[in-house]
Chain A
Amino acid sequence: GPKVLQIPSHQIIDMGQMVTLNCDPVSNHLYFYWYKQILGQQMEFLVNFYNGKVMEKSKLFKDQFSVERPDGSYFTLKIQPTALEDSAVYFCASSSTGAHEQYFGPGTRLTVL
Chain B
Amino acid sequence: QQKVQQSPESLIVPEGGMASLNCTSSDRNVDYFWWYRQHSGKSPKMLMSIFSNGEKEEGRFTVHLNKASLHTSLHIRDSQPSDSALYLCAASNPGGYKVVFGSGTRLLVSP
Q: Which residues of A contact B (CB under 8 A)?
A: 31, 33, 35, 40-45, 48, 50, 55-56, 58-59, 91, 95, 97-102, 104-107
Q: Quick check: B49 and A101 within 8 Å, CB to CB? A: yes
Contact: A45 with B101, CB < 8 Å? yes
B104→A41 contact, CB < 8 A: yes
A45-B99, A95-B96 in contact; A40/B44 too (CB < 8 A)? no
- Known contacts A102-B46, A104-B44; A97 and B96 CB within 8 A of each other: yes
Q: How far is the CB of A43 from chain B (nearest CB, A)?
A: 4
- Is B43 touching A105 in the complex (CB atoms < 8 A)? yes
B contact set with A: CB distance below 8 Å: 1, 32, 34, 38, 40-46, 49, 51, 86, 88, 90, 92-93, 95-101, 103-104
8 Å CB contact of B97 from A44, A98, A100: A98
* Docked complex Cα distance between A101 and B95 (Å): 13
Which one of A43, A44, A50, A59 contacts B44 once the chains associate, using CB atoms below 8 Å? A43
State A50–B38 Cα separation when bound (angstroms): 25
Which residue from chain A places its CB closest to the CB of B31 in the assembled complex?
A: A99
In the complex, the answer to whether B88 meets A43 with C-beta atoms within 8 Å is yes
Select which of A43, A99, A107 is within 8 A of B96 by beta carbon.
A99
